[in-house]
Amino acid sequence: MQTLSQEAVTYFQEIVGAKNVRQSENDLEHMGKDWSTVPKDLNTAPQPAAILLPGSTDEVSKILSYCNTHNIKVVPSGGRTGLVGGAMAVNGEVVLSLQRMNKIITIDSIGMFAVVEAGVNTQVLQEAAEKRGVMFALDLGSAGSSLIGGNISTNAAGKKFIRNGGMRQQVLGLEVVLANGQVFDLKGSLRKDNTGYALEELFIGSEGTLGVVTKATVKLMTRPEKMTTMCCVTDTFDKVLRTLELCHLKSLKVNTFEFFSRTSYEAVKKLKNLKPLFDGNCYMLIVLEGSQDRIDAMVESMFSDGLASDGLIAQSLDDYLTIWTYRDMIVEAVGAYKCAKRTDVSLPIPAMGEFIGDMMQRFETRPPSIDIIAYGHVGDGNFHIDYISNETSDYKTILAMERTQHELVSEYGGSISAEHGIGLLKKPFLNLTRTEAEIDLMRSIKKLLDPIGILNPGKIFDM
């Protein structure tokens, strides 16, 4: 467990100001963890040595340079909405929170980009773009709390990936600070730049292990035409996939194609005391762009082909909110259980139905106290499969189920993380869908950029 000398604390206070070095028990507990749920006895309780809140790139650079010289381990931190323990400080690290660096520097609707500091909140950027009449395309359930630097470092995806891609597709340029304090300004707002390796790409999705993102230039887009939001229900997952196919065959622009199971629906209904929608096994939340005629034709086919048995097309803000609440509140509903394990896997889209059937069959004989909640961004081949129980003693069984699930994902040619990353919690499974040679190459890159290993140690892989 790392301890911090008084000399280091005094140095940090000189750099960022005394009030921006926090060491109260409350701050350490609150800012040393993220949204991941782990029962306390698993030795992953937050135990940072201090929280540092720099206000500029120069301050970040000075802090990292000092930490590198004195071998002080650092956990970069954004909105702490991560679900895999990436921003957790469990070994006396210093938490480097970017939350004070929250300026939107430019919104440019000619070049269609925004320049922002890493601590800008995702929703704040969405709203600023909207106000200018354009759109920042990343949209995720945690947008009200997550920060752009965290979105970049996790390569966040979200609800509109099927239409706009994830964070990687939104980033034009990055400013990053390496472990030794060196600042790199990579690519700026250039859309085209073929001058050797795209270095900025390395930092996207690297979970704070290679450098600290301090600034980003992200793409803006034109806003979509009229959108229609609907929620429909059907009895089998195969019909969910056939509905997705129908959207493609009807040449409709799919803005969002989400799925949630009956167990997800029931968990949210109970948590939020919501008005019921309709009964069924598989719920589809679909947002389509296009003319009313074409969407009407699609809905007609859906029902005449027997792909949906009931549904609601949002006609009012109230309908829209009801539909989205059922989807957006699933993460919170899962978190309400004493014992919960979240997973986010990626699969070849056509294989999703067979995979889930196969998996459920293997878990048929599980203890009755464990429930399985499946939902996710089906249009992108991304399932969230979460395990919930109110018996803490079920955690070991749940961990074993998680391993079985990931082994099956590997058999199906999938990935153990579609969008949340590896962090601390998925580290034991990384080698199921990445080869040892690939992990070794990642280690070499880490060694090159952070030779002493001060940045987010123990996350993604061990050295």
Ligand X SMILES: Cc1cc2nc3c(=O)[nH]c(=O)nc-3n(C[C@H](O)[C@H](O)[C@H](O)COP(=O)(O)OP(=O)(O)OC[C@H]3O[C@@H](n4cnc5c(N)ncnc54)[C@H](O)[C@@H]3O)c2cc1C
Return residues touching ligand X (CB under 6 A): 34-35, 75-83, 86-87, 98, 118, 140-142, 146-147, 149-151, 153-154, 156-158, 207-208, 212-213, 331, 419-420, 423, 456, 459
Q: Which residues, listed in sequence order, are joined to residue 389 by a DSSP beta bridge?
A: 339
- Nearer Cβ to ligand X, position 137 or 295? 137
Nearer to ligand X, 154 or 264 (CB): 154
Residue 198 burial (CB count, 10 A): 12
Q: Of 98 and 299, which has the nearer Cβ to ligand X?
A: 98
Output the smallest distance, CB 34 to ligand X, in A: 4
CB closer to ligand X, 101 vs 299: 101
d(CA 193, CA 7): 44
Min. distance of Cβ 305 from ligand X in angstroms? 30
Which residues, at least 6 apart from 198, have a Cβ–Cβ distance to it below 8 Å? 187
- Percentages helix, strand, coil for the chain (3-state, rounded to 5) are 40, 20, 40
CB-wise, 61 or 153, nearer to ligand X? 153
Tell me which amino acid residue 57 is.
T
State whether residue 54 is helix, strand or coil.
coil
Report yes or no: 176 and 19 within 8 Å, Cβ to Cβ: no
CB of 420 to ligand X, least distance (A): 5
Is residue 38 within 8 Å of 425, Cβ to Cβ? yes
C-beta closer to ligand X: residue 377 or 434:
377
CB of 335 to ligand X, least distance (A): 8
CA-closest candidate to residue 351, choices 386, 382, 327, 384? 382
Rounded to a whole number of angstroms, the minimum distance from the CB of residue 304 to ligand X is: 33
CB of 366 vs ligand X, minimal distance in Å: 26
Q: Tell me whether strands 74-77 and 94-97 are parallel, antiparallel or unpaired.
A: parallel
* Polymer length of the chain: 463
- Tell me phi and psi for residue 52, to 5 degrees: -110, 135
